[in-house]
């Protein structure tokens, strides 16, 4: 009986509506209204000082979300932690998030155990950033952009830089985890793995610290005479 009474009280005094056992998929596909107290569960895929990203099985499109714990809060979560959340679903300047702070006394992050970190979803740059592409399904999801890319714009003061895929699609990067001191103009990437974030009205890949395989994109040349060239192909 006490459990039932507690549940009733929670419904009465919690901020806004309450959606128990909310899936991340339902949040990201518009089935949950902003301002609702939600309780999704998933595995941590990336952390920062103010929060972390979480994904739920089967770890595909619409299955990732940002969890805000507050800049002053030490959440203590690590990649691979299985977490049960309670927070308010908000759209923070276009980014879907579970705001633990906004839930007040009801806000919580409970570690349930540790799970294998899911593999990233493989996508094409054009499907995210090209004409007719749609990055929204992959917001806050762990992905690998499989295209080869070349750096075209060096990092700015906000830690953002750009690379063009082989088909000309421009990809924006950000420095949550990747060291921008490693970025060089004209540098080539074989692919890039990280979490697709949305901030300041733009989607950008938060590449993992080890998420960018750098390859040699120059073709070496040899200084040879015309006679030597003919001799090679006799």
pLDDT for 136-167, tens place per residue? 999 999 999 999 999 999 999 999 999 999 99
Same domain? For 60 and 90 the reply is yes
Q: What is the pLDDT of residue 51?
A: 97
Alpha-carbon Rg for the chain, nearest whole angstrom, is 22
Q: What is the pLDDT of residue 227?
A: 55
Cα angle 164, 94, 163; round to 5:
10
Same domain? For 106 and 60 the reply is yes
Residue 129 contacts residue 171 (beta carbons within 8 Å): yes
- Please state, in angstroms and rounded to a whole number, the distance separating the CA atoms of residues 150 and 9: 56
Tens digit of pLDDT for each residue in 195-214? 999 999 999 999 999 999 99
Residue 9 in domain: yes
Domain boundary among 71, 98, 114: 114
Tens digit of pLDDT for each residue in 11-52? 434 456 877 789 999 999 999 999 999 999 999 999 999 999
Same domain? For 95 and 31 the reply is yes
Arithmetic mean of pLDDT, 62-88? 94
Residue 161 in domain: yes
* pTM of the predicted model as reported, rounded to 2 decimal places: 0.85
Which domain range does residue 178 map to? 121-215
Q: What is the pLDDT of residue 17?
A: 80
Residue 167 in domain: yes
Same domain? For 141 and 204 the reply is yes
What sections of the chain are H helices per DSSP? Answer: 2-13, 24-28, 125-129, 226-232
Could you tell me which residues come within 8 angstroms of residue 111 by beta carbon, excluding any fewer than 6 positions away? 77, 81, 82, 83
Same domain? For 170 and 108 the reply is no
Work out how many domains the chain is built from and give that number: 2
């Amino acid at each position: 009986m006490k459990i039932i009474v507690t549940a009733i009280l929670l419904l009465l005094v919690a901020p806004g509506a309450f959606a128990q056992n909310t899936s991340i998929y339902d949040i990201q596909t518009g089935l949950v209204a902003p301002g609702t107290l939600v309780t999704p569960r998933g595995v941590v895929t990336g952390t920062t000082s103010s929060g972390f990203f979480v994904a739920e099985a089967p770890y595909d499109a619409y299955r990732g979300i940002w969890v805000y714990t507050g800049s002053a809060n030490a959440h203590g979560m690590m990649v691979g932690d299985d977490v049960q959340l309670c927070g308010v679903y908000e759209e923070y300047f276009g980014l879907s998030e579970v705001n633990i702070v906004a839930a007040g006394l009801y806000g919580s992050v409970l570690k349930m155990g540790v799970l294998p970190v899911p593999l990233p979803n493989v996508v094409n740059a054009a499907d995210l950033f090209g004409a007719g592409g749609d990055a929204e399904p992959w917001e806050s999801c762990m992905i690998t952009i499989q295209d080869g890319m070349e750096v075209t714009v060096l990092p700015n003061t906000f830690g953002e830089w750009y690379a063009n895929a082989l088909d000309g699609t421009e990809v924006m990067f950000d420095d949550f985890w990747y060291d921008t001191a490693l970025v060089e103009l004209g540098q080539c990437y074989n692919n890039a793995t990280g979490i697709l974030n949305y901030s300041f009205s733009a989607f950008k890949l938060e590449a993992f610290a080890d998420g960018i395989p750098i390859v040699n994109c120059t073709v070496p040349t040899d200084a040879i005479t015309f006679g030597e060239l003919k001799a090679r192909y006799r």
